[in-house]
Amino acid sequence: MRSALAFILHLMAALLAIPMLTLMSVGVIARMARSIGLASRGPTQFYYDHVLLLTSLIGALLAYWVCETLSSRSAVWVWIPAVIAFAIRIVVWLSTGSVPTGSVLFRESVIQHFFTVDCPQAAYCPDQLMLTPWLLGPVAYSVGAALQRFVAPRRRPHAPQP
């Protein structure tokens, strides 16, 4: 029961906290990138261009920080429900006819639809801006938890031997 509760807490952190932290931090990160010359447009376009990278980075960092206090054993498996939900969305997307028709050369692929970076506005790519971060957040959270689980034993000081 305790591990199921820890899994639910980790899943809630991955699904709710990561997108919110990404949205809250994008303004600060965009200003920093603009000040050193890496971004030329405003925070909204910066978010559209870097949503996948920001979500992955914040997810891994949040998991590493959270798993220092909570058990990381159940956090490593948080990616499974997200991947199942994402696979269902891909099947629905392919079966509803929302895939543009035409020749095979000009047909939009799953990778282009969900993971491409060229998103001019939110109205043109809601799956990329809303659904894909909900996949990458838990996957990055699981990676951060696994990294913390791997690094934590190496950081603890060894007991002096008599």
Does residue 76 fall inside a structural domain?
yes
Does residue 103 fall inside a structural domain?
yes
> pLDDT per residue over 122-132, tens digit each?
556 677 777 77
Q: Identify which of 159, 152, 162 has the alpha carbon closest to the alpha carbon of residue 72.
A: 152
Distance CA 74, CA 70 (A): 10
Does residue 160 fall inside a structural domain?
no
DSSP single-letter state for residue 74: T
Please give the model's pTM, rounded to 2 decimal places. 0.76
Does residue 162 fall inside a structural domain?
no
Is the four-CA dihedral 138, 140, 145, 150 of positive or negative sign? positive
Are residues 64 and 145 in contact, defined by beta-carbon separation less than 8 angstroms?
yes
- The domain of 115 spans 2-155
Does residue 28 fall inside a structural domain?
yes
Are residues 79 and 10 in contact, defined by beta-carbon separation less than 8 angstroms?
no
Does residue 26 fall inside a structural domain?
yes
> pLDDT per residue over 59-69, tens digit each?
999 999 988 88
pLDDT at 149: 86
Our separate counts of H helices and E strands in the chain read 7, 0
The number of domains in the chain is 1
Does residue 16 fall inside a structural domain?
yes
pLDDT in tens, the chain (162 residues): 778 888 888 888 888 888 888 888 887 887 777 777 766 676 777 777 777 888 889 999 999 998 888 777 888 999 999 999 988 988 887 787 555 554 444 456 777 777 765 666 555 667 777 777 888 889 999 999 999 988 876 665 555 555
Q: Identify which of 95, 97, 136 has the alpha carbon closest to the alpha carbon of residue 114.
A: 136
Could you tell me where the beta strands, DSSP code E, fall in the chain?
none
pLDDT at 117: 54
Does residue 93 fall inside a structural domain?
yes
Tokens of 34: 């603009």
